[in-house]
Structure 1
Amino acid sequence: MAKAKAWKLGSPGEPSFPGDFEIVKRAVLQLTDVVNNNNKYYGIELHRAGNAYRVFTHYGRTDDLETNPNAGAKESRYFDDLASADACYAQIYREKTAASKGYKEVSLASSKIGSHKARGTSSGQIDERTLEKIEGEKEKRAAIPKSTLPPGVQSMLQYVYDEATNALTSTVAAKITAHGIETPLGVLTIGQIERGEAILNDAFKVFEQRGTKAQAELSRLSSDFYSAIPHRLGRTRAEIQAAVLDSLEEFAAKQETLQLMRDMLQVNGEGGSVLYDSEIDAKYKALNCEIGWIEPGTGPWKEIADYVERSQIKSKSVKVRNVMTLKRAGEHDAFTDGIGNHRMLFHGSRIKNWVGILSRGILLPKIVVSMGVKRTDAGWLGNGIYFGDAACTSAFYTSPGKKGTRLMSVARVALGKTAEYTKITYGLNGPPEGFDSCHGVRNKPGTSSQFADDEYVVYRTQQQRLEYLVEFTA
């Protein structure tokens, strides 16, 4: 078959084609190559209008789309029959996805590249959860009355949502719109995030091997990861190469980013506009967590504030600003009643993580669960959920947001019979037989220990439930 001429859009002599055409098939391809400083997209479409056919392509540098949605080159190849057009489409797809070119097809709930008919439509294999969201977007939203939530709760909700959004969009090449998490190519799907997780796991297995060959493979898998999950990598060769996944910290950071993306998609719901909608009640409902306001200065507020501030051992820097009650749907009912020795303990986390924590609870450490590595966050008693009995200890794991305040929870923890440790013990997936929890005992006069602070660990989510959220400065 003779090679068809590629006409640039609007070039002199380009054959005419009806504006009301059908898209027979399409694909959106992405290539991020950290070795050769490539960050490119390539869209292919097969169009039919009566007995006329064309193969439409749109390609360019991905980061150009952020500032100019119409960037890139657009070309068309024209045919008189479907078989010839289909063969051309298949040939281009094979060439671009071959090992020599290295493009990967991405799945988008809503594409931002291609012909005018393709934009705003899905591309690739779309999972059922995303299809449900797309259908939900088609329904008109009813008017939402003015919020009846206490102003303090409204302020906190907006705070955690804003911090999560800023953390996500500053790392991933994406922005939050009414359609969802939009990359320069289009709206990401849950399935695409899962693809990124699979690539990250493969990369970690190579990372464990080390060596020269492993480094080359890490560069390739890093490129695949950024092709699946577009990141803000910079444009220079040095910036691109610096993005190679080759440290525990990098793997942990990317896992955290993917978890943040999952959390944000989860709270976005089937309507697909919670993150974008300014109505705070929709954001509150999406968390599926009861949040109650405790008026500052009242007896209940003083009780919790005093408990937090007086718990400090090494410093007295934690100052409570606001206190809210928490009751996560299902968590209270699932709490283990048969294990005694209940303690009110602290759990701190960066503000960007609180949308996820409030909506799905505290997760067992994923860096351990999926990769089997030693934690990098001082989790020295294996794969568990960690708590402290001193607010200053938990404050170490927090970060200030734009308001300058931080967040930690006060949780009821069923410790039961506790196994005490003075030596760091990696690899635990549960307490020793006959025990219900573990306690890393703090080093102090009379007790020689490798633990700088007291750490309490449970290995079942049913042994803890969130009861208070504390906003503080430190």
Structure 2
Amino acid sequence: MSPEKSGSKATQGARLLSPEGLDKLRFSIVGQSKEAVDESIQKLKHAGANFHARVAKDIDCLISYGELDNENAEVRKARRLKIPIVREEYIGECIRKNRKLPVDLYKVENTLESSKGGTVTVKVKGRSAVHESSGLQDTAHILEDGKSIYNTTLNMSDLARGVNSYYILQIIEEDNGSECYVFRKWGRVGNEQIGSQKLEEMSKADAIKEFKRLFLEKTGNPWEAWERKTNFQKQPGKFYPLDIDYGVKQAPKRKDISEMKSSLAPQLLELMKMLFNVETYRAAMMEFEINMSEMPLGKLTKENIQKGFEALTEIQNLLKNTADQALAVRESLIVAASNRFFTLIPSIHPHIIRDEDELMIKAKMLEALQDIEIASKLVGFDSDCDESLDDKYMKLRCNITPLPHDSEDYKLVERYLLNTHAPTHKDWSLELEEVFSLDRDGELNKYSRYKNNLHNKMLLWHGSRLTNFVGILSQGLRIAPPEAPVTGYMVCLLFMFYMF
């Protein structure tokens, strides 16, 4: 039943319910009709709700009766305090169901922080996470039925038609109760003005049936084909599901991480703060123009990244082999591969990849996403994962020791750094702050048999993004995966890896 219809029936005063149901609802009301406002206040109070004459930070919502007055002092205060402002239909629906309902479906305007930053706050319960736009992330969880997790994010990128869309589909079950909701959110990637969302309450059986119907409608495949990874085929003009791994191992909730005591050396502690700063990873994702409302930080699986590499390799082969196909055929294949890449890796600005330079930019982006995925698996970026920096350091399995500034090794690195600074780079200078020695778990034993036999030892330099170093420290320098495009950059990494 739509909120408009159910609300209009309930607000006619057909029935008033016992005061037990709405005792947790705290509200204020604004409106142009004093009689209508007073009547609504009495109905809600009779149903057990708590009325506040003035907007305060501890109320659940401000109910707007009639047209919203943007200059009203209570409205301005609600916006300042980020309190949801809801339509009058919310009153009728709460009274009809005799309980406090999620406010998002009835909002006059979207006050969610996610619309500002383009990111999603992930709160994992069980094996998945309720989307914050549903308003249920604190009181409900994604429905799980055996191996089935009823949560999917769909993406569709069709560059020829200018389509770059997402579709989020979830079955949400209340933590304390059996009520289920089918939540849908859809729109254009990177454009918050286009799109909508819907939250419908239904029985568990009906919710599963509706979820599967919508999945088939949007993808052209039955839900079971995707769930079991069998016989799922990407259909033209249809959405494709993203593999998003929310993780299931959650660290215990702790207090502010900055207040935790650390046994690490001060220099090492500062390094760990740099390496595990979530904002650094978020900034990298934004620089790559990744759509973070679809793909929360660090949640894209390595399978999707691998398929992204495969799409880039296909484009590279098409760009090189110009004589193999007619121009029109080759162009259509490049467009198809670009569509596949941006469907797998949601981007704010998808485009046809037509040259080698753009190809290399996307390849390096995927390499960085690999390291972000590794960092996410290793230490987690979720709000509930508040391990100490000492805990995160131990997970690197790498002994990192700051060198004394008067040591020979420190002076050697400093001398190399300053003496090899190119004279053409006059606009900036370098200053060495700290040098660390590394001993990765197990590497000394691997190297010991070559130590006395190899004489061409060299001091090699490797520069990389800060977001890549958790992956490098925990797993070492790695050669590119076989599905990645071939570049001179990859060969350089291979050379450095074996010379190290």
Q: How does 1:106-121 map to 2 (within 5 A)?
A: 106-110=242-246
Whole-angstrom CA distance in 2 between matches of 1:245 and 1:225: 10
Q: Structure 1 counterpart of 2:321, which letter? A: Q
2:29 matched to which residue of 1? none
2:167 matched to which residue of 1? 42
Quote the offset at 1:30 in angstroms.
0.9
Whole-angstrom CA distance in 1 between matches of 2:234 and 2:413: 61
Gaps of 5+ in 2: 8-92, 102-139, 222-232
Quote the offset at 1:277 in angstroms.
4.5
2:410 matched to which residue of 1? 301
Whole-angstrom CA distance in 2 between matches of 1:232 and 1:266: 23
Q: Is the 8 A contact 2:219 2:239 kept in 1?
A: no
Asked whether 1:272 is paired with 2:380, we answer yes
Quote the offset at 1:324 in angstroms.
1.8
Among candidates 143, 152, 155, match of residue 267 of structure 2? 152
Asked whether 1:337 is paired with 2:451, we answer yes
Whole-angstrom CA distance in 1 between matches of 2:199 and 2:362: 36
SS of alignment partner, residue 264 of structure 2: coil
1:208 matched to which residue of 2? 320
1:351 matched to which residue of 2? 465
Asked whether 1:10 is paired with 2:126, we answer no
Change (3 A) 1:270 1:208: same
RMSD of Structure 2 on Structure 1 (CA) = 4.6
Q: How does 1:432-471 map to 2 (within 5 A)?
A: 457=495, 461=497, 463-464=499-500
Quote the offset at 1:31 in angstroms.
1.0
Quote the offset at 1:104 in angstroms.
0.7
Among candidates 250, 253, 257, match of residue 361 of structure 2? 253
SS of alignment partner, residue 418 of structure 2: helix
Whole-angstrom CA distance in 2 between matches of 1:326 and 1:262: 22
Whole-angstrom CA distance in 1 between matches of 2:378 and 2:442: 21
Quote the offset at 1:345 in angstroms.
1.6
Q: Is the 8 A contact 1:182 1:188 kept in 2?
A: no
Bigger fraction of residues in strand: 1
Q: Is the 8 A contact 2:363 2:485 kept in 1?
A: no
1:60 matched to which residue of 2? 187
1:373 matched to which residue of 2? 486
Q: Which has the larger radius of gyration?
A: 2
Asked whether 1:73 is paired with 2:197, we answer yes
Bigger fraction of residues in helix: 2
2:478 matched to which residue of 1? 363
Whole-angstrom CA distance in 1 between matches of 2:359 and 2:441: 31
Q: Structure 1 counterpart of 2:405, which letter? A: P
Give the total of aligned pairs.
Answer: 338
Q: How does 1:192-231 map to 2 (within 5 A)?
A: 192-210=304-322, 211-231=327-347
Change (3 A) 1:311 1:54: closer
Whole-angstrom CA distance in 2 between matches of 1:226 and 1:326: 38
Asked whether 1:30 is paired with 2:145, we answer no
Q: Structure 1 counterpart of 2:372, which letter? A: M
Q: How does 1:377-388 map to 2 (within 5 A)?
A: 377=489, 383=491, 385=493
SS of alignment partner, residue 203 of structure 1: helix
Whole-angstrom CA distance in 1 between matches of 2:216 and 2:345: 26
Using structure 2 for the length normalisation, give the TM-score: 0.54
Q: Structure 1 counterpart of 2:413, which letter? A: I
Among candidates 331, 352, 357, match of residue 244 of structure 1? 352
Change (3 A) 1:304 1:11: same
The CA deviation string for residues 36-87 of structure 1, in whole angstroms up to 9 with x for no partner, is 332212234579999999976432223346x99xx62327698998698588
Change (3 A) 1:248 1:154: farther
Change (3 A) 1:79 1:160: closer
Whole-angstrom CA distance in 1 between matches of 2:418 and 2:366: 34
Among candidates 251, 276, 284, match of residue 167 of structure 1? 284
Whole-angstrom CA distance in 1 between matches of 2:432 and 2:172: 62
Q: Is the 8 A contact 1:95 1:101 kept in 2?
A: no
Q: Is the 8 A contact 2:173 2:181 kept in 1?
A: yes
Change (3 A) 1:103 1:155: same
Whole-angstrom CA distance in 2 between matches of 1:12 and 1:314: 75
Whole-angstrom CA distance in 1 between matches of 2:357 and 2:487: 11
Quote the offset at 1:309 in angstroms.
3.4
Change (3 A) 1:229 1:152: same
Whole-angstrom CA distance in 2 between matches of 1:284 and 1:227: 35
Change (3 A) 1:298 1:200: same
Q: Structure 1 counterpart of 2:295, which letter? A: T
